[in-house]
Structure 1
Amino acid sequence: MKKRLALIVMITGSCFIKAQIGINMSAPEAILHVDGQKNTAPAVPSSYYDDVVVTSSGNMGVGTKTPKTRLDLRSEEHLNALGLGGTSQTASAAKAGAMRYNSGTQDLSYSNGTAWVPLAHKAPNDFVDAENASVQSFTSGTQAAVTNWTKKTDVNGSFNSGTGTFVASKTGIYIVAFTFSLASGTIANDSRYETLIQTNSASSATNKVFKCVGSYPGTNTLSNRVAGNCSGIFNLNQGDQITVSLNQALGTAKTLDTDASLTSLSIFGL
């Protein structure tokens, strides 16, 4: 009797058992079928958006039960983005055909087995266009950054309108133009103002300040509107910042003009 049982075990152990495994579902439609939210309705393609399947041919589908490639992400809901991160591996270690994302240059590259080769692309250049109607006040003789801007255009979301700080999204050449206008008021004798465009970065080698000066020499008896501008070209690294400031020494506190179009800032990356 024992010999017969041993023989049965040996025979059944050598047989191939074909089965399907279902998780969160009782009727799997592939070798492995996972229903993420337990909401799959048979024959309703749109209900497979949260499913993961592995077919008998070795294909894997995410959001589809009929994957056509080794990995198929084409779901009915069209939330099919594929996330790629960076890697410290060399191209030879990752092997030919591997891909990675470069956060510094903001591009994808692939391994040819020897080197990482960037894919052809063109990320949008930074462009900021802003106006200011904040009526910000500037104390005479004190430099202060111009803040509380109203953005008209900000292509890459690089400009903080509240603080007036721009952060370069990539390394390159940037053209900056700043204009301002102060509300009418008295001007002290032999007075002046400075408009400043300055960069701030982790590397002091790239920090620069452009200053433009306007002066009112002699005796000033009339109430006047003071206006000025400043522009410059900067070589920035990714992450470098730009701010614009005003240092007026006209004798009394001054505020920006209420006409937003008279105080403006534009930053364009080449």
Structure 2
Amino acid sequence: MKKRLAITLMIGGSLFIKAQVGINTSAPEAILHVDGQKNTVPSTSTSYYDDVVITSSGNMGVGTKLPKTRLDLRSDEHLNALGIGGTSQTASAAKAGAMRYNSGTQDMSYSNGSSWVALAHKAPNDFVDAENSSTQNFTSGTQATVINWTKKTDVNGSFNSGTGVFVASKTGVYIVSFTFSLASGTIADDSRYETLIQTNSTSTATNKVFKCVGSYPGTNSLSNRVAGSCSGIFNLNQGDNITVSLNQALGTAKTLDAAGSLTSLSIFGL
């Protein structure tokens, strides 16, 4: 009896060693073969795009049944991105060779065993260039955000032209320049205007508002075009916003000049 049991165990053990496990497939082609959508056609390379295999050499293939490395993502459908997230681990805890994504600076870094080292690649800096020919109306004595811009350039899609809100795609220093021109009209005596560049940034290294003021003291009997400009430098965190506003106190409602090139906005991230 013991002899028969020993033979049975030997045969069972041999079968176990040589076994291949298939999930969603009755014909596994590796030690472990998972056919995600149960659609694999043997020997048809394009049908393995949703498969995962582990070979007898310990290699794992995602989208390929013939992995050449410990982890091989090279499938015929070419949707082979590798997702890497951030980590709060120290470089020494993660050990040398670990990698992480830095959402604030939008770059990758690797651990050398003692510190995180940024890779040479750098995400494009934000750059916005816009004009405004919307003839937006501004009530005298009321501050209003300038809206309905026409974008000429927006490298990272960070600027909402309709609302006039810019959102920093990464942490850094930003230079903002705003110019405006109002349609010709009467100007009240001793009147003025303010152009404002504002941010919601929590950075202690930047001002919340840059204001530039223009004034028309004394008696103003003529009809004139009012124009002005303002610039500012901001330290922004990723997700902080910038808006530009106008507060004119010229006596009557004013509209932006219809010539778009006379009202412009540029934002550049360093």
Q: TM (normalized to structure 1)?
A: 0.91
Unaligned runs of 5+ in 1: none
Letter of the 2:10 counterpart: I
* TM-aligned CA deviation for residue 241 of structure 1: 2.4
The aligned residue for residue 241 of structure 1 is 241
Matched, 1:172 2:172: yes
The aligned residue for residue 213 of structure 1 is 213
* TM-aligned CA deviation for residue 43 of structure 1: 2.1
Give the % identical residues.
83
User: What's the RMSD between the two structures over aligned residues?
Assistant: 2.0
Which stretch shifts more, 214-223 or 150-159?
Answer: 214-223
> The residue matched to 2:5 in structure 1 has which SS?
helix
CA distance in 2, matches of 1:10, 1:231: 83
Letter of the 2:5 counterpart: A
Aligned length: 269
Pairs within 5 Å for 1:221-240: 221-240=221-240
CA distance in 2, matches of 1:160, 1:71: 41
Q: Deviations over 1:52-87 (max 9, x none)?
A: 111111111111111100000011111111000111
* TM-aligned CA deviation for residue 90 of structure 1: 1.8
CA distance in 2, matches of 1:26, 1:11: 25
Letter of the 2:221 counterpart: T
Letter of the 1:140 counterpart: S
| Alpha-carbon contact 2:107-2:121 (below 8 Å) kept | yes
CA 1:21–1:226 in structure 2 vs 1: closer, same or farther (change >3 Å)?
same
Pairs within 5 Å for 1:169-208: 169-203=169-203, 206-208=206-208
| Alpha-carbon contact 1:166-1:243 (below 8 Å) kept | yes
CA 1:3–1:54 in structure 2 vs 1: closer, same or farther (change >3 Å)?
closer
CA 1:9–1:28 in structure 2 vs 1: closer, same or farther (change >3 Å)?
closer
The aligned residue for residue 154 of structure 1 is 154
Q: Deviations over 1:110-141 (max 9, x none)?
A: 12222222222222111001112222211101
Letter of the 2:232 counterpart: G
Matched, 1:20 2:7: no
Unaligned runs of 5+ in 2: none
| Alpha-carbon contact 1:199-1:240 (below 8 Å) kept | yes
Q: Deviations over 1:188-242 (max 9, x none)?
A: 1222111112222124552332222222233333332222222233333433322
Which stretch shifts more, 161-170 or 122-131?
Answer: 161-170
CA 1:238–1:10 in structure 2 vs 1: closer, same or farther (change >3 Å)?
closer
CA distance in 2, matches of 1:268, 1:4: 82
CA distance in 2, matches of 1:233, 1:7: 81
CA 1:30–1:140 in structure 2 vs 1: closer, same or farther (change >3 Å)?
same
Q: Deviations over 1:148-183 (max 9, x none)?
A: 222221112222222212222333332211111212
Q: TM (normalized to structure 2)?
A: 0.91
> The residue matched to 2:14 in structure 1 has which SS?
coil
> The residue matched to 1:57 in structure 2 has which SS?
coil
CA 1:30–1:83 in structure 2 vs 1: closer, same or farther (change >3 Å)?
same
Letter of the 1:11 counterpart: M
> The residue matched to 2:130 in structure 1 has which SS?
strand
Letter of the 2:11 counterpart: T
Letter of the 1:257 counterpart: D
CA 1:212–1:3 in structure 2 vs 1: closer, same or farther (change >3 Å)?
closer
CA 1:88–1:232 in structure 2 vs 1: closer, same or farther (change >3 Å)?
closer
Which stretch shifts more, 215-224 or 57-66?
Answer: 215-224
> The residue matched to 1:96 in structure 2 has which SS?
coil
| Alpha-carbon contact 2:199-2:241 (below 8 Å) kept | yes
